[in-house]
Amino acid sequence: MIKKIILITSVALLSSCAGTTIQDVGDKFLNLINPSDPVVEVADLGESEIILESEYVIFSEEGLALLSDEELIQVAKQQGIESMVILDSDGNLANREEIVSALTQFGTVARLSDEELIQVAKQQGIESMVILDSDGNLANREEIVSALTQSETAARLSDEELIQLAKQQGIESMVILDSDGNLANREEIVSALTQSGTAAETLEDGGVSFILYFSYDDTEIDEKATQIIIEHANFMMNNPKLFLRLEGHADERGTREYNLALGENRSLSVKEVLGLYGLENRIEVVSFGEEQPVAFTHDEEGWQKNRRVEFIYQK
Amino acid sequence: MKILKTLALLLTLVSTTAYALLEVTIIKSEGNAFPIVISPFEVVGNAEQGATIANIIRDNLNRSGQFNALSSSNVITNKIDFSYWKNQGKDAIVFGKVEQISSTVFNVTIYIYDIYTKKRLYGKTIEVHNSGIRRISHFLSDKIYNILLGQKGAFDTRLSYVTVTSDKVLGKIYQLEISDSDGQNARAVVKSPYPILSPAWSPDQNKIAYVSFQNGRSEVFIKYPFMRVKPIKIPQFDGISSAPSWHPNSQGLVLTISRKGNKDIYFYSLKSKKLDRLTKDVAIDTEANFSPDGNSIAFTSNRSGQVQIYIKDLTSKKTKRATFEGRYNAKPVFSPDGKALALIHRVGKDYRVALLDIKTRDLTVLTQNKLDESPYFSPNGGMIIFATNRNNKGVLFVISLYNNQIVELAQKGVEVREPSWSNYSN
């Protein structure tokens, strides 16, 4: 699978960068793509938007240093690590260095092979997020790269910073302090932040926070999946006003009506675990069967992405 | 002998509605069909429908797989060159006349002759309104079918199906459409941005039951396609409601309703507006289908740990497993004589339409496809219509049970799925 990152920057962003010419900003972005190469091609800046596209956008510290705080936040958003951004009381970026380092890390991680990525994911305790297709290849490379970027960075944070992030992400209840007031379960928090990062990010717009995948004609929740659902249970207990909609889906194989029933059973399996925490009244179960696929190829790679339960938090 | 031929349908349609038509293509044809000649109907006065009627009849007969119908280049009237057609290897000849009576009324006359005995097998004149030209063509096709084969035809019937159009601005548009049995004369009766599935004609052809996600989850509705009334929603509980199938008397239907997570089959009476639970099992029970006598239902269940088909006798209340071959058998529909089930059978990694003899348990796989869905019998039992995937697109196939001829019904750039066939018209 080839990873494609497309940077789309609107004029609105460009014009918000006071004191820089549009040409400057354009150069900055070109520099970002490949800082060591001379600028060979300048995008038509008269266009209403600048689209820079390459197989890999490799981030270097030098390239990122050229960006303003706003631009950096924008790039962080694009790379799915928006949740790491900390703003001070004036709304300015409080942890610029951290974001630059995270994005640099992103560049490094993005260059890893699938096997290396899986290895690193294991080391970082986010093995459960790895999805393999029927050929044993990594099916969700982008997701893993983004998670690892967050995990690597989170690992470098101080205890205080970690606790602060945990508060922001609503997993404060997981924080355990020892008798001296120090963080006692650092590793757990790092791993939780890495995985819940995605959940919290999209919360505001009611989008899909998390997707749990299933085997063919299967509704079983294995141990790893149970762990993840327990994290969601904790998250819900810490956010008592949130409701969770569980949308069950099936792949296209077999009949539509049976798949509709199967999708409901998948959602119900998840609800059962959450029910152990007394959350059943805040959960809505829905099935779409095979009617709303996310992958459209008629092969195992596509099918396995479609056998899923989507977690959608609602206020 | 396999002949690959394509029938381009260049019909001059009487109906001027601009709805998208289903394109009809014979993609697999077998020999041994009844050879017949259809002459363009003789036109008297200002009547342009002579060729239209003959073409509809010819295409109908060919689609059945039981005829090899050709149009004659000349209009045949009373003088028939029997020896010529005998040498051409034809067994029967059809010709007729369209006569204008008033600006909108016509007399349609049809004759069927046996070429060997030179005898007239049928002759009749029918008065018809301009708007009924297509209908009379289907009616006459059924007559020919019946007279030459001694069986009931299924041409004067209707289809229902779902189309899905992907629009760049509007996203997906789902349409519940109805058409004549040849896919022509199509019109949308429900249009929605949310998925529609499992439409089923009531046997009296007044109603269509279907599943819609318009309220965020699956619900069963009843639509009166020929009346200006809102669809009626069938009551449900806290989970899915789906898979409707009509009782033969059109006064009730079976459907799947999930209650506290348990999916069972219920019967809903349109008269009493009450739900009756027909199955009680913690497993998934769904896709129920009424037997033609209304005395039993076939349904899909995973109660054995595998997805298999069961038949419940509604009088004795006894449930028996019907399928034993393979690990996945689902979506059963009874043949009109009640002796067989069409179903979806998994072969290796593929899902194919198969025919089960209920008594002998013989299972015959009918296709070589990968992703067949939703089989449905023609009301005479001679054909099965089903959805499948061809060149990465949803299309309908009609397979002749006489010789396995396959006809494709497709629409350009549009997914076609979830077919159902109506009963005979009254």
Contact assessment for residue A129 and residue A147, using Cβ atoms and an 8 Å cutoff: yes
Residue at B9 is within a domain: no
Task: CATH number of the domain at A247, please.
Answer: 3.30.1330.60
pLDDT of residue A59: 62
Q: Which residues contact A208 (CB under 8 A, 6 or more apart)?
A: A202, A310, A311, A312
- pLDDT at res. A13: 31
A286 and B198 in contact by Cβ < 8 A? no
Chain B nearest-CA residue for A266: B261
CB atoms within 10 A of CB A133: 17
Over the stretch A56-94, which tens digit does the pLDDT of each residue have?
344 666 667 777 788 788 777 776 677 677 777 777 888
Same domain, B281 and B306: yes
What tokens were used for B74?
Answer: 């000349």
What is the per-residue pLDDT for B426? 58
- Give a yes or no: residue B14 inside a domain: no
Q: What is the mean pLDDT of residues B395-408?
A: 93
Q: Are strands B67-71 and A5-10 parallel, antiparallel or unpaired?
A: unpaired
**β-strands B275-277, B262-269: how paired?**
antiparallel
Cα(B173)–Cα(B164) distance, integer angstroms: 6
Strand partners, B352: B345
Report yes or no: B323 and B333 within 8 Å, Cβ to Cβ. Answer: no
Note whether B256 contacts A254, CB cutoff 8 Å: no
Residue A310 lies in a domain: yes
pLDDT class of B31 with cuts at 50, 70, 90: low
**Predicted confidence (pLDDT) at residue A154 exceeds the cutoff of 90:** no
**Residue B217 sits in the same domain as residue B87:** no
Same domain for B384 and B246:
yes
Residue of B nearest to A260 (CA): B240
Q: Domain with B271 in it: what CATH number?
A: 2.120.10.30
Kindly state whether residue A263 falls inside one of the protein's structural domains: yes
What Å distances lie between residue A186 and A179, A236, B71, B150, CA to CA?
A: 15, 22, 84, 83
Give the model confidence (pLDDT) of B323-340 as tens digits: 999 999 999 999 999 999
CA nearest B95: which of B42, B58, B48? B42
In a domain, A253, yes or no: yes
Examine residue A10 and state whether it is found in any structural domain, yes or no: no
Residue A16, phi then psi, degrees to nearest 5: -80, -10
Q: What are phi and psi for residue B101, nearest 5 degrees?
A: -105, -45
Judge whether residue A310 has pLDDT over 60. Answer: yes
Which of A259-273, B56-70, B319-333 is predicted with the least confidence, judged by mean pLDDT? B56-70
> pLDDT-based confidence at B46, cuts 50/70/90?
low
- Calculate mean pLDDT across residues A274-285: 95
Per-residue model confidence as pLDDT tens digits over B71-107: 888 888 878 889 999 999 999 999 999 988 888 888 9
Q: Are residues B168 and B144 in the same domain?
A: no
User: Does residue A186 lie within any of the structural domains?
Assistant: no
pLDDT confidence of residue A62: 67
Enumerate the residues of chain A whose CB falls inside 8 A of the CB of residue B216. Answer: 286
Residue A217 lies in a domain: yes
**Is residue B346 one of the residues assigned to a domain?**
yes
What is the reported pLDDT for B15?
31
- Mean pLDDT for the stretch of residues B280-286: 96
Complex ipTM? 0.89
User: Do the chains contact at B261 and A217, CB–CB below 8 Å?
Assistant: no
**What gap in Å lies between CA A250 and CA A293, rounded to an integer?**
8
Question: What pairing do the DSSP bridges indicate for beta strands B329-334 and B285-290?
Answer: unpaired
**Looking at the structure, do residues B219 and B337 belong to the same domain, yes or no?**
yes
pLDDT the model gives residue A262:
96
Smallest Cα distance from A21 to chain B, Å: 35
What pLDDT does residue B102 have? 85
Decide if pLDDT at A2 tops 50.
no
Residue A49 banded pLDDT, cuts 50, 70, 90: very low
Same-domain check for residues B409 and B283: yes
Domain boundary pick from B109, B130, B149:
B149
- Asked if B34 is an interface residue toward chain A (Cβ–Cβ < 8 A), one would say no
* Domain count of the fold of chain A: 1
Which residues of chain B have a CB within 8 Å of the CB of A253? Answer: 351, 371
Cα–Cα distance measured from residue A150 to residue A144, given in angstroms and rounded to the nearest whole number:
10
Question: Same structural domain for residues B122 and B220?
Answer: no
Say if residue A21's pLDDT is above 90. Answer: no
Burial class (CB in 10 A: 0-12, 13-18, 19+), B206: middle
pTM here is 0.71
| Minimum mean pLDDT range among A27-41, B129-143, B181-195, B330-344 | A27-41
CA angle B76, B81, B87 (to 5 degrees): 120
Looking at the partner chain, which of B198, B239, B328 has a beta carbon nearest the beta carbon of A264?
A: B239
pLDDT of residue B9: 29
Instruction: Please tell me the distance from the alpha carbon of residue A80 to that of residue A71, in angstroms, as a whole number.
Output: 14
- The beta-strand segments (E) located in B335-382 are 340-347, 350-357, 363-365, 373-377
Query: Which pLDDT tens digit goes with each residue over A95-122?
Result: 888 788 777 776 667 767 788 788 877 7
The pairing of strands B105-114 and B373-377 is unpaired
**Amino acid sitting at position A64:** L
Confirm if B423 and B201 have CB atoms less than 8 A apart. yes
φ, ψ for residue B16 (rounded to 5)?
-100, 5
Cβ atoms of B398 and B64 within 8 Å: the answer is no
Query: Where does chain A have alpha helices with state H?
Result: 11-16, 22-33, 61-65, 69-78, 96-110, 114-123, 141-156, 159-168, 186-201, 223-238, 256-275, 300-306
Q: Are residues B199 and B287 in the same domain?
A: yes
Q: Range with the lowest mean pLDDT among A17-26, B209-218, B285-294? A: A17-26
Residue A83 within any structural domain of the chain: no
Mean pLDDT of the B289-309 span: 97
Nearest to B371 among A261, A288, A298 (CB): A298
On whether any CB of chain A is under 8 Å from the CB of B205, the answer is no
Is the pLDDT confidence value at A34 over 60? no
pLDDT band at B217 (very low <50, low <70, confident <90, very high): very high
Determine the Cα–Cα distance for residues B212 and B198; give it in Å rounded to an integer: 9
- Please, what is the end-to-end C-alpha distance for chain B in angstroms? 39
Residues B59 and B168 in one domain: no
Residue B190 CA to residue B175 CA, distance in Å, equals 6
Evaluate whether residue B62 is within a structural domain.
yes
Instruction: Tell whether B381 and B273 lie within a shared domain.
Output: yes
- What CATH number is attached to the domain comprising B70? 3.40.50.10070
What's the average model confidence in pLDDT over A34-47?
Answer: 34
pLDDT for residue A194 = 66
In a domain, A214, yes or no: yes
Closest listed residue to residue A306, CA positions, set A259, A243, A242: A259
Percentage above 70 pLDDT, chain B: 93
The domain total for chain B is 2
First vs last Cα of chain A: how many Å apart? 36
**Packed helices A96-110 and A69-78: angle between N→C axes, nearest 10 degrees:** 40
Contact call for A257 and B300, based on CB within 8 A:
yes
Which range has the worst mean pLDDT, A149-153, A208-212, B212-216, B268-272? A149-153
Q: Measured at the alpha carbon of residue A188, what is the angle toward residues A187 and A192, in degrees to the nearest 5?
A: 120
A61: tokens are 């510290």
Region at B70 (left for phi over 0; alpha for psi -120 to 50; beta for the rest): beta
The rounded distance, in Å, linking the Cα atoms of B383 and B61 is 12
End-of-domain residue from the set B91, B123, B149: B149
Interface test with B, best of A251, A255, A284 (most B CBs within 10 A): A255
Q: Which residues contact B371 (CB under 8 A, 6 or more apart)?
A: A252, A253, A298, B350, B351, B388, B389
B268 confidence band (pLDDT: 50, 70, 90): very high
DSSP at A154 = H
Higher-confidence residue: A153 or B43? Answer: B43
- pLDDT at residue B220 greater than cutoff 90: yes
Are B287 and A258 in contact (CB < 8 Å)? yes
pLDDT at A156 (0 to 100): 65
Whole-number pLDDT of residue B388: 97
**Would you say residue B425 has pLDDT above 60?**
yes
Q: Do B331 and A268 touch (CB under 8 A)?
A: no
Residue B22 resides in a domain: no
Which residues in chain B have their CB less than 8 angstroms from residue A265's CB? 261, 284
What range does the domain containing A256 cover? 202-315
Within a domain: B268? yes
Task: Return the pLDDT at B359.
Answer: 96
Q: Is residue B213 within 8 angstroms of chain A, CB to CB? A: yes
Residues sharing a CB contact under 8 Å with residue A160, sequence separation 6 or more, in sequence order? none
Last residue of a domain, one of B131, B149, B167: B149
Residue B7 lies in a domain: no
Tokens standing for A284? 């809505």
| B147 burial type by CB count under 10 A (0-12 exposed, 13-18 middle, 19+ buried) | middle
Q: Does B259 touch chain A (CB under 8 A)?
A: no
Phi, psi of B88, rounded to the nearest 5 degrees: -75, -5
Domain of B373?
159-421
User: Are A254 and B307 within 8 A, CB to CB?
Assistant: yes
Q: What is the pLDDT of residues A117-146, one digit of tens each?
A: 888 777 766 776 777 776 777 877 777 777
Name the residue with tokens 């349904």.
B299
Higher pLDDT, A112 or A151: A112
Q: Are residues B400 and B255 in the same domain?
A: yes
Question: Rounded to an integer, what distance in angstroms lies between the CA atom of residue A253 and that of residue B350?
Answer: 8
- Cα nearest neighbour of A256 on chain B: B373
Chain A CA closest to residue B194: A291
Judge if B253 and B353 occupy the same domain: yes
Give me A202's structure tokens: 């999209």
